[in-house]
Chains A and B, each alone.
Chain A
Amino acid sequence: MGELKLSSLNKAFGAVHVLHDIDLSVKDGEFVVFVGPSGCGKSTLLRIIAGLEDVTSGRIEIGGRDVGQLSPAERKIAMVFQSYALYPHMSVRKNLAFGLENLKFKRSEIDARIAEAARMLAIEPYLDRKPRQLSGGQRQRVAIGRAIVREPDIFLFDEPLSNLDAALRVQTRAEITRLHQQIKTTMIYVTHDQVEAMTMADKIVILRAGRVEQVGSPLELFDYPRNLFVAGFLGSPRMNIVRASIAGIGPEGASIDLGHGAVLPCDVDPAAVRPGQRVLAGIRPAHFQRVEEGGVPFVVQYYESLGTETYVYGALAETQEPIIVHETGHFAPPSGTRLAIAPMPGRLHVFDPDSELAIARRDAGQRRGAVHGN
Chain B
Amino acid sequence: MAIKASAVLERLVEGVMSLVEIPINALERLMGRKRVPYLFLAPNLVLFGIFTFLPIAISVGYAVTGGTNLFVTDRPFVGLDNFRQLLSCQDYSRPGTCQESLFWTAIWNTFWFVGFNVVATLLVALVTALILNRAMVGRGFFRAMFFYPVLLSPVVIGLIWKWFLDRNGLLNAFFEMMGVPPHVFLLEVGWARFFVVLVSVWFHMGFYTLILLAGLQAIPKDLYEAAAIDAASRRRTLFAITLPLLGPNLLVVLILLMIRSVQIFDEAWVLTNGGGPGTANSFIVQYIYQMAFGSDLRLLGLASAASVLMGVVLLALTLVQLRLARKTEEI
Within the complex, which residue of B220, B230, B233, B240 is in contact with A83, where a contact is CB–CB below 8 Å? B220
In the complex, chain B residues 27-55 whose Cβ is within 8 Å of any chain A Cβ: none
Chain B residues near A (Cβ < 8 Å): 220, 222-223, 225-233, 236, 240-241, 244-245, 247, 331
A87-B241, A88-B245, A98-B240 are known contacts. Are A103 and B222 too (CB-CB below 8 A)? no
Within the complex, which residue of B226, B232, B241, B247 is in contact with A81, where a contact is CB–CB below 8 Å? B226
Q: Are B236 and A50 in contact (CB under 8 A)?
A: no
Distance of B96 from chain A, by nearest CB (Å)? 49
A77 in contact (CB, < 8 A): yes
Q: Are B230 and A99 in contact (CB under 8 A)?
A: yes
Q: Of all chain B residues, which has the CB nearest A74? A: B231
Give me the 3 closest cross-chain CB pairs, A-B, nearest first.
A73-B231, A99-B230, A85-B222
The A/B interface has a contact count, at CB < 8 Å, of: 60
In the complex, chain A residues 76-94 whose Cβ is within 8 Å of any chain B Cβ: 77-79, 81, 83, 85-89
Distance of A101 from chain B, by nearest CB (Å)? 9
A102 in contact (CB, < 8 A): yes
Contacts of B228 in A (CB 8 A): 51-52, 71-73
Within the complex, which residue of B222, B225, B229 is in contact with A99, where a contact is CB–CB below 8 Å? B229
Q: Are B222 and A83 in contact (CB under 8 A)?
A: yes
Q: Are A81 and B231 in contact (CB under 8 A)?
A: no
In the complex, chain A residues 150-175 whose Cβ is within 8 Å of any chain B Cβ: 150
Q: Are B220 and A85 in contact (CB under 8 A)?
A: yes
Q: Of all chain B residues, which has the CB nearest A156? A: B229
Q: Of all chain A residues, which has the CB nearest B225? A: A52
Q: Of all chain A residues, which has the CB nearest B223? A: A85
User: In the complex the two chains form, what is the Cα distance from A307 to B327 in whole Å?
Assistant: 54
Q: Are A81 and B225 in contact (CB under 8 A)?
A: yes
User: In the complex the two chains form, what is the Cα distance from A73 to B241 in whole Å?
Assistant: 17
Q: Of all chain A residues, which has the CB nearest B224? A: A85
Contacts of A73 in B (CB 8 A): 228-232
Interface of A is mostly: loop
Q: What 1/0 flags go to A42-53 for Cβ under 8 Å of B?
A: 000000001110
A85-B222, A89-B245 are known contacts. Are A72 and B229 too (CB-CB below 8 A)? yes
Q: Of all chain B residues, which has the CB nearest A158? A: B222
Number of interface residues of A (CB under 8 A): 22
Within the complex, which residue of A77, A83, A86, A88 is in contact with B229, where a contact is CB–CB below 8 Å? A77
Q: Are B230 and A98 in contact (CB under 8 A)?
A: yes
What are some 8 contacts across the A-B interface (CB < 8 A)?
A72-B225, A87-B227, A88-B223, A89-B244, A89-B247, A98-B232, A99-B230, A102-B236
Q: Are B229 and A79 in contact (CB under 8 A)?
A: yes
Q: Of all chain B residues, which has the CB nearest A50? A: B229
User: In the complex the two chains form, what is the Cα distance from A79 to B241 in whole Å?
Assistant: 18
Distance of A74 from chain B, by nearest CB (Å)? 8
User: In the complex the two chains form, what is the Cα distance from A88 to B229 in whole Å?
Assistant: 17
User: In the complex the two chains form, what is the Cα distance from A286 to B269 in whole Å?
Assistant: 88
Contacts of B227 in A (CB 8 A): 87, 98
A98-B240, A102-B236 are known contacts. Are A87 and B223 too (CB-CB below 8 A)? yes
User: In the complex the two chains form, what is the Cα distance from A77 to B245 in whole Å?
Assistant: 26
Distance of A52 from chain B, by nearest CB (Å)? 5
Distance of A51 from chain B, by nearest CB (Å)? 8
Contacts of B229 in A (CB 8 A): 50, 52, 72-73, 77-79, 99
Distance of B184 from chain A, by nearest CB (Å)? 50
User: In the complex the two chains form, what is the Cα distance from A79 to B231 in whole Å?
Assistant: 12
Within the complex, which residue of A78, A85, A86, A103 is in contact with B225, where a contact is CB–CB below 8 Å? A85
Distance of B328 from chain A, by nearest CB (Å)? 12
Contacts of A87 in B (CB 8 A): 223, 226-227, 240-241
Distance of B220 from chain A, by nearest CB (Å)? 7
Contacts of A99 in B (CB 8 A): 229-232
Contacts of B231 in A (CB 8 A): 73, 99, 102-103
Contacts of B240 in A (CB 8 A): 87, 98
Within the complex, which residue of B222, B230, B245, B247 is in contact with A102, where a contact is CB–CB below 8 Å? B230
Distance of A354 from chain B, by nearest CB (Å)? 43
Distance of A190 from chain B, by nearest CB (Å)? 14
A87-B241, A88-B245, A89-B244 are known contacts. Are A102 and B226 too (CB-CB below 8 A)? no
Distance of A2 from chain B, by nearest CB (Å)? 16
Contacts of A150 in B (CB 8 A): 230
Q: Of all chain B residues, which has the CB nearest A81? A: B222
Q: Of all chain A residues, which has the CB nearest B219? A: A88
Q: Of all chain B residues, which has the CB nearest A104? A: B231
Distance of B196 from chain A, by nearest CB (Å)? 37
User: In the complex the two chains form, what is the Cα distance from A83 to B226 in whole Å?
Assistant: 11
Contacts of B220 in A (CB 8 A): 83, 85
Distance of A272 from chain B, by nearest CB (Å)? 48
- Greatest chain A CB density within 10 A among B227, B229, B241 is at B229
Distance of B132 from chain A, by nearest CB (Å)? 23
Distance of B262 from chain A, by nearest CB (Å)? 31
Besides the known contacts A72-B229, A102-B230, 7 further A-B residue pairs in the complex with CB atoms under 8 A apart: A50-B225, A52-B229, A79-B226, A81-B222, A98-B240, A103-B231, A146-B230
